[in-house]
Copies of this chain bind each other. A is one copy, B any other.
Amino acid sequence: MPNVTVLGGGRVGGAIALDLAGDPGIEVTVVDASRRVRDRLARHGMRVTAGDLSDPEAVRRVAAECDLVIGAVPGVMGFETLQGVIGAGTNAVDISFFPEDAYRLDAAARQQGVTAVVDCGVAPGLSNMIHGYAGSVFDRVDQFACAVGGLPVHREPPWEYRAPFSPLDVIEEYTRPARLRRGGELLSLPALSEVELLGFDTLGVLEAFNTDGLRTLLVTSDTPTMVEKTLRYPGHAAKIAMLRDTGFFGTDAIPLGGGAVRPLDLTTQLLIAQWQMRESDRDLTVMRVTVDGERAGKGIRWELNLVDRYDEEGHVSSMARTTGYTCSAVARLVLEGRVTEKGIVAPEVVAGMGERFRAVLAHLGQRGISFDWRDGDGNAVVVGT
Contacts and interface: CB of A to CB of B under 8 A. Distances in A.
B259 A274 contact: no
Interface string A238-257: 01001001111010001011
A149 B154 CA distance: 38
A362 interface: no
Given A254-B269, A263-B266, 15 more contacts: A157-B245, A158-B246, A239-B242, A242-B242, A246-B274, A247-B273, A248-B267, A254-B270, A256-B261, A256-B265, A256-B269, A257-B262, A258-B259, A263-B270, A266-B266
A200 to B, nearest CB: 26
A165 interface: no
A103 interface: no
A258 B265 CA distance: 12
A257 B247 contact: no
A270 B242 contact: no
Contacts of A263: 266, 270
A332 to B, nearest CB: 42
A159 interface: yes
Interface in A197-242: 239, 242
Contacts of A239: 242
Contact of A257 (B248, B261, B273): B261
A266 B270 contact: no
How many A residues touch the partner, as a band? Answer: 20 to 34
Contact of A266 (B159, B242, B254, B258): B254
Interface string A187-203: 00000000000000000
Given A242-B158, A242-B239, A256 B266 contact: yes
B270 A246 contact: yes
Contact of A274 (B157, B247, B267, B270): B247
Contacts of A270: 246-248, 250, 254, 263
Interface in A264-320: 265-267, 269-271, 273-274
A206 to B, nearest CB: 20
Contacts of A246: 158-159, 270-271, 274
User: Among A250, A269, A273, which residue has the most Cβ atoms of chain B within 10 A?
Assistant: A269
A258 B262 CA distance: 13
Contacts of A261: 256-257, 259, 261, 266
Contacts of A242: 158, 239, 242
Interface in A146-191: 157-159
Nearest to A274: B246
A254 to B, nearest CB: 6
Contacts of A265: 256-257
A261 B256 CA distance: 8
Contacts of A273: 247
25 contacts: A158-B242, A158-B245, A158-B246, A159-B246, A239-B242, A242-B242, A246-B270, A246-B271, A247-B270, A247-B273, A248-B248, A248-B267, A248-B270, A254-B269, A256-B261, A256-B266, A257-B261, A257-B262, A257-B265, A258-B259, A259-B259, A261-B261, A261-B266, A263-B266, A266-B266
Interface in A58-83: none
